[in-house]
């Protein structure tokens, strides 16, 4: 595409017009080849965020992203292949519970993940808190492991959807992440390139998510489902609450410990357990299992230890110390300072969920810039949910810190981040919508 056309395309989007699939492909293809500048793409993105990208543009964008790199061929696998993706939240370790649950149910998951940017690491960073755990598996190793035990979690290579990596980095620094079309095309391009026939999305809504409004999250879920189905993948989504941390842990090793505790059945009824069961059941539904049967099946696989044993086999297969399953807190790295925050008696009215994530990031659990080193041991443990009563004597949050000074800095902020009041408060519904499911 002649460079001269680029400003005209940006201007059309700025004025509320639509770009054709060929125009988007030409524009972004030239960007990947280094012929179009960051500033020009940033201008297009901002115009699209303000004016809105159409559904046709979102579909076209997804195709451009998928075609920018390699795709994974899972056709040699024998079970139903499933992928699961969360749009991102605080204390969200459902993948580490849902994947072994689904593997125990006979599904196959080859999960290619990235490293996190933000309050805590991504799934790969969290898993690396387990001593010896390897995420740099070759495609052949992933395929063999998935065929043998039903799951593998590996680092996505830079050959998979390279344009998404470049665009995401630009969106991150230009305040253009929170667009439904951009999120949907980014998420779905990676799922389509990942090769699974069944795709379950966990679209988060609330202060700790990219989208705070339920209607926006439902629109995003519907757009993702339509893009997946248009590409022949059975796709469904749950819209789930992110107005409060999902699991008790916020921080890499702490999240692994909490996920293992869920798999061990030690956290019945908590929100992470409930969300994981709902997601695993929804994924099974996509593979054709009737809804009530799917729920019963995943509950049974959690209760009888089958999912825990899959997790043990998964850790061992990737070189990790599988005794972490028996003694997570003994095996995982621990922070030298742990201190509890005891709020006054009352009811938990709500959280600054994003701020809680940021506090964990400030302790060292998150990466503010690509390449930053994480402190895998530090973070927060949140023992309360919205609607709970607190008695003024028990810790509501435990701070895991590298130094006393770090711990004190976080303790000083918690009263502003966790809202306690005299009025009774209602718990927040965990699963707020189901899209593309029966
Ligand atoms: N997750 C993604 O993979 N991409 C986005 O754009 C937002 C969340």
pLDDT at residue 371 in the model: 74
186 classed as catalytic: yes
Q: Is the CB of 187 under 6 A from ligand 1?
A: yes
- pLDDT of 21-32, one tens digit each? 999 999 999 999
Which has the closest alpha carbon to 357: 434, 431, 255? 255
Q: From ligand 1's centre to the CA of 186, what distance in Å?
A: 5
Question: What helix, strand, coil percent values describe the chain, rounded to 5?
Answer: 45, 15, 35
Query: Of residues 164, 197, 202, 406, which has the active-site annotation?
Result: 164
How far apart are the C-alpha atoms of 400 and 410, rounded to whole Å? 10
Same domain, yes or no: 270 and 387:
no
- pLDDT of 225-241, one tens digit each? 999 999 999 999 999 99
Measured by CA distance, the residue closest to atom 8 of ligand 1 is: 87
Q: From ligand 1's centre to the CA of 182, what distance in Å?
A: 8
Same domain, yes or no: 270 and 130:
yes
Cβ distance 249 to 93 under 8 Å?
yes
Query: Of residues 68, 86, 186, 243, which has the active-site annotation?
Result: 186
Q: Is the CB of 189 under 6 A from ligand 1?
A: no
Q: Is the CB of 87 under 6 A from ligand 1?
A: yes
Question: What is the CATH number for 257?
Answer: 3.40.1030.10
Q: From ligand 1's centre to the CA of 187, what distance in Å?
A: 5
How far apart are the C-alpha atoms of 20 and 105, rounded to whole Å? 43
Same domain, yes or no: 100 and 210:
yes
Q: From ligand 1's centre to the CA of 85, what distance in Å?
A: 10
Q: Exposure pattern of 41-55 as b/e (b: 16+ CB <10 Å)?
A: bbbbbbbbbeeebee
Q: From ligand 1's centre to the CA of 424, what distance in Å?
A: 36
Q: Which two tokens stand for residue 65?
A: 């992203």
Same domain, yes or no: 166 and 280:
yes
Question: What is the CATH number for 370?
Answer: 3.90.1170.30
Cβ distance 92 to 247 under 8 Å?
yes
Let me know if residue 65 belongs to a domain.
Answer: no
Q: Is the CB of 123 under 6 A from ligand 1?
A: no
Among the three residues 327, 345, 371, which one is the final residue of a domain in this structure? 327
Cβ distance 113 to 123 under 8 Å?
yes
Q: Is the CB of 206 under 6 A from ligand 1?
A: no
How are strands ordered across the β-sheet holding 379-382? 249-250, 379-382, 397-401, 337-341
Same domain, yes or no: 370 and 280:
no
Same domain, yes or no: 206 and 323:
yes
pLDDT at residue 178 in the model: 82
Same domain, yes or no: 219 and 340:
no
- pLDDT of 336-395, one tens digit each? 999 999 999 999 999 999 999 999 999 999 887 767 889 999 999 999 999 999 999 999
Among the three residues 305, 327, 349, which one is the final residue of a domain in this structure? 327
Domain that holds residue 402: 333-421
- pLDDT of 62-96, one tens digit each? 999 999 999 999 999 998 999 999 998 899 999 99
Question: Ligand 1 pocket check: which of 87, 118, 176, 220 to mutate, most ligand atoms within 8 Å of Cβ?
Answer: 87
Same domain, yes or no: 319 and 354:
no
Give the 3-state secondary structure of residue 241: strand
Q: Is 263 exposed, middle or buried (0-12, 13-18, 19+ CB in 10 A)?
A: buried
Let me know if residue 189 belongs to a domain.
Answer: yes
Least confident of 71-80, 237-246, 259-268: 71-80
Let me know if residue 200 belongs to a domain.
Answer: yes
State the chain's mean pLDDT as an integer.
94
pLDDT at residue 304 in the model: 98
Cβ distance 210 to 178 under 8 Å?
yes
Average pLDDT over residues 424-429: 97
Helix (H) or strand (E) holding 13: helix 5-14
Same domain, yes or no: 323 and 202:
yes
Measured by CA distance, the residue closest to atom 3 of ligand 1 is: 187
Let me know if residue 426 belongs to a domain.
Answer: no
pLDDT at residue 373 in the model: 87
166 classed as catalytic: no
Let me know if residue 93 belongs to a domain.
Answer: yes
Helix (H) or strand (E) holding 151: strand 151-155
How far apart are the C-alpha atoms of 5 and 10, rounded to whole Å? 9
How far apart are the C-alpha atoms of 32 and 164, rounded to whole Å? 10
- pLDDT of 170-216, one tens digit each? 998 899 988 999 999 999 999 999 999 999 999 999 999 989 999 99
Let me know if residue 58 belongs to a domain.
Answer: no
Does the pLDDT value for residue 36 go beyond 80? yes
Q: From ligand 1's centre to the CA of 87, what distance in Å?
A: 6
Q: From ligand 1's centre to the CA of 4, what distance in Å?
A: 31
Let me know if residue 73 belongs to a domain.
Answer: no
Mark out the alpha helices in 119-270 (DSSP H runs).
123-127, 139-149, 162-173, 180-194, 214-230, 252-263
Does the pLDDT value for residue 2 go beyond 60? no
Q: DSSP characters for 330-367?
A: HHS---SEEEEE-PPSEEEEEE-HHHHHHHHIIIIISB
Q: Exposure pattern of 379-400 as b/e (b: 16+ CB <10 Å)?
A: bbbbebbbeeebeeeebbbbbb
How far apart are the C-alpha atoms of 126 and 3, rounded to whole Å? 43
Same domain, yes or no: 209 and 343:
no
Beta-bridge mates of residue 434: 238
| Total number of domains in the chain | 3
CA–chain centroid gap for 142, Å, is 20
Q: Exposure pattern of 140-150 as b/e (b: 16+ CB <10 Å)?
A: eebbebbeebb
Q: Is the CB of 203 under 6 A from ligand 1?
A: no
Q: Is the CB of 96 under 6 A from ligand 1?
A: no
Same domain, yes or no: 226 and 323:
yes
243 classed as catalytic: no
- pLDDT of 152-171, one tens digit each? 999 987 788 999 989 988 99
Which has the closest alpha carbon to 122: 130, 131, 113? 113
Which has the closest alpha carbon to 286: 100, 81, 48? 81
Q: CA triplet 134, 116, 219: central angle to 5 degrees?
A: 125
Measured by CA distance, the residue closest to atom 5 of ligand 1 is: 183
291 classed as catalytic: no
Let me know if residue 61 belongs to a domain.
Answer: no
Helix (H) or strand (E) holding 281: helix 271-286
85 classed as catalytic: yes
How far apart are the C-alpha atoms of 236 and 229, rounded to whole Å? 9
Q: Is the CB of 275 under 6 A from ligand 1?
A: no
Q: At what angle do helices 180-194 and 55-67 cross, to 10 degrees?
A: 40
Q: Is the CB of 186 under 6 A from ligand 1?
A: yes
CA dihedral of 168, 172, 177, 178, whole degrees rounded to 10: 160
Length of the chain, in residues: 438
Q: Is the CB of 91 under 6 A from ligand 1?
A: no
Q: From ligand 1's centre to the CA of 190, what distance in Å?
A: 9
Same domain, yes or no: 298 and 412:
no
Query: Of residues 115, 171, 198, 354, which has the active-site annotation?
Result: 171
- pLDDT of 114-155, one tens digit each? 776 666 778 999 999 999 999 999 988 999 999 999 999 999
Question: What is the CATH number for 21?
Answer: 1.20.970.10
Beta-bridge mates of residue 154: 112
How far apart are the C-alpha atoms of 49 and 182, rounded to whole Å? 8
pTM of the model: 0.94
Cβ distance 153 to 95 under 8 Å?
yes
């Amino acid at each position: 595409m002649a460079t001269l056309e680029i400003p005209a395309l940006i201007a059309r989007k700025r004025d509320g017009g639509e770009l054709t699939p060929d125009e988007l492909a030409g524009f972004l293809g030239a960007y990947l080849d280094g012929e179009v500048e960051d500033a020009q793409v940033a201008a297009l993105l901002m115009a699209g965020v303000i004016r809105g990208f159409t559904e046709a543009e979102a579909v076209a964008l997804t195709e451009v992203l998928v075609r920018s790199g390699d795709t994974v061929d899972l056709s040699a696998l024998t079970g139903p292949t499933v992928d699961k993706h969360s749009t991102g939240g605080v204390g969200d370790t459902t993948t580490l519970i849902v994947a072994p649950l689904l593997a125990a149910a006979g599904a196959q998951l080859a999960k290619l993940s990235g490293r996190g940017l933000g309050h805590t690491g991504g799934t790969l960073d969290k898993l690396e808190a387990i001593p010896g755990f390897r995420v740099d598996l070759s495609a052949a190793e992933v395929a063999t492991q998935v065929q043998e035990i039903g799951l593998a979690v590996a680092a996505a290579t830079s050959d998979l959807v390279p344009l998404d990596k470049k665009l995401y980095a630009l969106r991150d620094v230009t305040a253009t992440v929170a667009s439904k079309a951009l999120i949907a095309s980014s998420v779905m391009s990676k799922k389509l390139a990942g090769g699974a026939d069944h795709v379950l999305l966990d679209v988060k809504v609330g202060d700790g998510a990219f989208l705070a409004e339920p209607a926006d999250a439902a629109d995003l879920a519907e757009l993702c489902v339509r893009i997946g189905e248009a590409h022949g993948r059975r796709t469904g989504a749950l819209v789930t609450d992110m107005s409060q941390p999902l699991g008790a842990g916020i921080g890499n090793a702490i999240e692994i410990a909490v996920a293992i505790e869920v798999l061990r059945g030690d956290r019945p009824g908590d929100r992470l357990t409930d969300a994981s069961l709902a997601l695993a059941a929804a994924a099974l539904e996509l593979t054709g299992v009737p809804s009530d049967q799917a729920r019963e099946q995943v509950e049974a696989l959690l209760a009888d230890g089958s999912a825990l044993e899959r997790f043990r086999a998964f850790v061992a297969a990737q070189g990790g110390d599988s005794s972490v399953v028996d003694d997570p807190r003994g095996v995982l790295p621990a922070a030298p300072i742990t201190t509890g925050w005891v709020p006054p008696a009352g009811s938990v009215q709500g959280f600054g969920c994003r701020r809680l994530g940021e506090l964990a990031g400030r302790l060292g659990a998150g990466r503010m810039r690509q390449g930053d080193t994480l402190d895998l041991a530090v973070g927060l443990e949140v023992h309360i949910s919205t609607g709970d009563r607190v008695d003024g004597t028990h810790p509501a949050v435990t701070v895991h810190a590298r130094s006393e000074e770090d711990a004190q800095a976080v303790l000083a902020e918690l009263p502003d981040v966790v809202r306690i009041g005299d009025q009774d408060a209602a718990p927040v519904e965990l699963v707020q919508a189901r899209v593309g499911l029966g």
